[in-house]
Structure 1
Amino acid sequence: MTGTDRPRLARIALVGPAHPYKGGGARHTTELAHRLSALGHEVAVESWRAQYPAALYPGTQTVDEQEGTPHPGTRHGLAWYRPDGWWRTGRRLAREADLVVLTLFSPVQVPAYLAILAGARSLDTGTQITALCHNVLPHERRAVDVSLTRALLRRVDGVLTHSPEQAHLAEGLMGPERPRPAMAPLPPHLPDTGGSVQGPPGERRHLLFLGIVRPYKGVDLLLRALADGAPDDVTLTVAGEFWGGTDDLAALARELGVADRVRLRDGYVPASELPGLFASADAVVLPYRTATATQNVWLAHEHGVPVVATRAGTLADHVREGVDGLLCEPGDAADLARALTALYTPGEAERLRAGVRPVDPDPYWRDYADRLLKA
């Protein structure tokens, strides 16, 4: 941006998770705050001291180990059990900020965001409010999710999404009278893992799935593909929080005859454990049925590991097929088995490893900040 195209410096409040909350959402909010601050904006992060009731998030919500540098302007005043504080926060942000960004991950957040909106709108300060949609709607959704998200998107001044499909979904909820949502690819916001670990030379004969394990991630398809498409000595680690437990996948592995080749490592994976997991793998496999955006392709490439992924969502945008990874069709265990067979063609895994390059985050973030401020 140059000249008159450059947005004026602004006071910006980001409402969303930050450390000690874990995972990509907290890292994105924090990295966005740092990037906007580096552009000269006055930035604050309005985070949570209690984000979700435990019954709505069947996993560990917070971590002790920091996965990056916290933003100095971070407050932890919001709590799901104090709705009176939501409205007061909105009024305060209307006085303190020119732009409020509500980071949307789940419709569970929407009641708090509607109250923040109401508080901000009760003062005529001209503060603009944008919804930054990591997920417009959940992958596994209920009717109330649509109603809640529609109510939010029709009340904010702008909407930013991370893919054309998500922009189209948001547009349908907003109605024809509203401005079209903006779209910007999700930029890299990788955890600080302390650097890569050098693995053994040659093939590891091992695959890795990393992340929260939910039905849309397709781990069941990966087990079927492992049984049908990978050599009998190739093993798999599934590492992450299993929503619903490990019993069903363990039973499927036994049924397919691969239980002795599969390790189900249940629980959040801290950043310090990631280098060892990546060093042990020939490839990270992302067998998603559906996807919005994920950091796991870039995270694998940061550690020198190729990726086998489906073409769901934006996954294919980050994989150079035949150069640093292989692609297959979503929801198709047979096509995933084909890709694993190709991966273990003699010399192929090492050839793909040699093609891996870490991502340069700066161009992504420059574009992202520009589109957010214009949204």
Structure 2
Amino acid sequence: MRIAIVGPAFPYKGGGARHTTELAHRLAAAGHEVVIESWRAQYPRFLYPGRQTIAEPEGEPFPATRHRLDWRRPDGWWRTGRALRSADLVVLVLLSTVQVPSYLGILAGLRGRARVVALCHNVLPHERKPYDEPLMRRLLRKVDGVLVHTGAQADIARTLTSRPVRAAEMAAHLPVAAASAPAAGKVRRRLLFFGIVRPYKGLDVLLRALAEGPDEVALTVAGEFWGGLDETRELIGSLDLTSRVELRPGYVPAADIPGLFAAADALVMPYRSATSSQNVWMAHEHGLPVIATDVGGFGTQIRDGVDGLICAPDDAASLAAALRRFYAPGEPERLRSGVRPVDHGPLWTAYIDALTGAAR
């Protein structure tokens, strides 16, 4: 098939760009003719306060990548759609409802000449605005199929469209960097919170749990802060955690990731809500167990009591109990020994089958 993927790619950063690129590589390896239509300018700066692009790719860029889309040029959206009329399948990668107007412009240019699948990383944002649902409903009713990453997201999508909806577990698209395994048998009494800091990810819950949990356990918070640092610093001070919490604000380059994971006993993911995340896979690739809340797909990615621990979301007491359980004598070592990196080949095969099938 001739397949066009419309979505972010290098020099854009983060999981969305990595997933788009890895998907293109996998589809090409499966024998399809693939092109990525990416962005010259994706968002106005005020809509994304963090760093949007990076200087060095986090994996192998896909050679057939064009950067023609610009949020300031609606005429270019229509022209891109017109240029894709010869494709058999167009995949619109949905990371935010901010993308919907440009995708509607592409659909207008396509004029129904190609099958279209909306690949939704999030059907609706975790922190919603009044316009999110109407925008997404309008888009999903115009495509031929929808692909999401969990059953819960499929249920949400079906409330917005009568088009066919499929769910497939999102396979790994991890940054490329040599792993640094944690020192065998050594408990560092340090935890890691990794990735962009937004309210739904529950860093505030983790800080309160840390104050209630085992003594002399430190925490590193590494990632961009969506709304600034002031509120987090105030909470750390009020909980008397200043000496135990290290803040490393800013985007974490792939080359720095192995050292961060090697310095921790576990990755903690105290999310209030979730769809899917690469961070569980990333931790397991680096030999770390994961402590996470029972939201999104974490309950299937983590084997509770084997390679990590599961606790209740938005519940500092439940998370504090999980931290105490984790640091019981011998537990960090036992849980680390249960960590096994996943073979993502079968997951990618199933994912590609679901994607191509969603257009039929």
The TM tier, using the shorter chain, reads over 0.9
Alignment of 1:103-252 (within 5 A): 103-121=93-111, 125=113, 127-174=114-161, 178-199=162-183, 201-231=185-215, 233-252=216-235
Q: CA deviation at 1:179?
A: 3.3
Q: CA deviation at 1:153?
A: 0.2
Partners of 2:144 and 2:164 within 8 A in 1: no
What secondary structure sits across from 2:85 in the alignment? Answer: helix
TM-score by length of 1: 0.94
Does residue 337 of the first structure (1) align with residue 320 of the second (2)? Answer: yes
Partners of 2:143 and 2:163 within 8 A in 1: no
Letter in 2 for 1:111: P
Instruction: Give the corresponding residue for 2:61.
Output: 70
Alignment of 1:34-73 (within 5 A): 34-73=25-64
Partners of 2:141 and 2:163 within 8 A in 1: no
Distance 2:232 2:163 in 1: 44
**Structure 1 segments unaligned to the other structure (5+ residues):** 1-9
Instruction: Give the corresponding residue for 1:364.
Output: 347
Letter in 1 for 2:88: D
Q: 1:85 aligns with which of 76, 96, 99?
A: 76
Distance 1:252 1:62 in 2: 30
Does residue 26 of the first structure (1) align with residue 29 of the second (2)? Answer: no
Letter in 2 for 1:226: L
Letter in 1 for 2:78: W
Distance 1:37 1:140 in 2: 35
- Deviation per residue, 1:331-358 (Å, 9 max, x gap): 1110000000001101100111111111
Instruction: Give the corresponding residue for 1:100.
Output: 90
Distance 2:144 2:124 in 1: 19
**Structure 2 segments unaligned to the other structure (5+ residues):** none
Distance 1:269 1:63 in 2: 10
Instruction: Give the corresponding residue for 2:334.
Output: 351
Does residue 258 of the first structure (1) align with residue 241 of the second (2)? Answer: yes
Partners of 1:158 and 1:179 within 8 A in 2: yes
Letter in 1 for 2:120: C
Partners of 2:5 and 2:36 within 8 A in 1: yes
Letter in 1 for 2:137: R
Distance 1:181 1:171 in 2: 7
Q: CA deviation at 1:229?
A: 1.1
Does residue 269 of the first structure (1) align with residue 252 of the second (2)? Answer: yes
Q: 1:15 aligns with which of 6, 15, 32?
A: 6
- Deviation per residue, 1:60-110 (Å, 9 max, x gap): 000012110011111111111111100000000012x11000000000000
Partners of 2:222 and 2:250 within 8 A in 1: yes
**TM superposition outliers: structure 1 runs of 4+ over 6 Å:** none
Q: CA deviation at 1:197?
A: 4.4
- Deviation per residue, 1:197-233 (Å, 9 max, x gap): 45374101100000110000000000001000122x1
Does residue 312 of the first structure (1) align with residue 302 of the second (2)? Answer: no
Partners of 1:246 and 1:264 within 8 A in 2: no
Identical amino acids, percent of aligned pairs: 62
